[in-house]
Amino acid sequence: MIVLEYIGVIILGYLIGSIPFGVIIGRLTRGIDVRDYGSGSMGMTNVLRTVGAKAGVLVFVADMAKGAVAVAFAWLILGSGYGLVAGGAAAVIGHSWPIYIGFRGGRGITTGFGALLVMSWPVGLISFAIFLAVVGLSRYVSLGSMLAALAVLVFMIPFVVLDVEPFAYLVYGIIVVPLIIFRHRGNIQRLLSGTEPKIGSSRTIR
């Protein structure tokens, strides 16, 4: 029975994560598929560049809610621990490879952040503060996103060692952080070559 519950949580988390809010908002506001512009992602940063600030903020909130809702459902079905990890990780995978729109999604950072906030809000807030600091100093959203993701692992370890958080939440970081870094592989190449657009830049890339 518990196996079926885990399968159900994973499927539900994936389907929730697959909801393409960036694409939906782009089509409703500008009649475009945001994946055809800029970085080709449906995430907040690309929506911000291609549609506008209000749409970008709306997508940020909606994508974050996907991760939070997936974890909340997992808690209702399985309780704490690995059930939450399964739901949150599945939502990130769904956002990255959404079944509804041909498996072309986003980078997973915002959905992963929403899931993390429900599981461990202190680590979530620390990683978000690092994101804001890096973006503020460098104006590279991608760099801030990756360093914030890595910070989840760095700061979750002492929380687990001190028994503040369960080991399962560290497993969440071990699963999700490499996935987020992998989804940013194009950004890494552009950062190394000096062609990655900074926030506020109107430059588009594909």
| Domain ranges for the chain | 2-193
pLDDT on residue 202: 52
pTM (2 d.p.):
0.93
What pLDDT shows up at residue 201? 65
What's the pLDDT at 38? 84
> Residue 80 has what pLDDT?
82
Residue indicated by tokens 């500008």: 30
The CB density around residue 56, as the number of other CB atoms within 10 Å, is 20
Q: What is the pLDDT of residue 98?
A: 97
Q: Distance between CA 75 and CA 84 in Å, rounded?
A: 6
* pLDDT at 166 (0 to 100): 96
The tokens describing 75, both together, are 């808690």
Burial of 153 (0-12, 13-18, 19+ CB in 10 A): middle
Mention every residue, 6+ apart, whose C-beta is less than 8 A from residue 190.
142, 196, 205
Angle, in degrees to the nearest 10, between helices 109-119 and 167-183: 170
Task: Walk along the chain (206 residues) in steps of 10 and give the mean pLDDT of each run.
Answer: 92 98 94 90 91 93 98 94 96 97 95 97 97 95 96 96 96 97 94 88 47
- The Cβ of residue 42 has, within 10 Å, a number of other Cβ atoms equal to 27
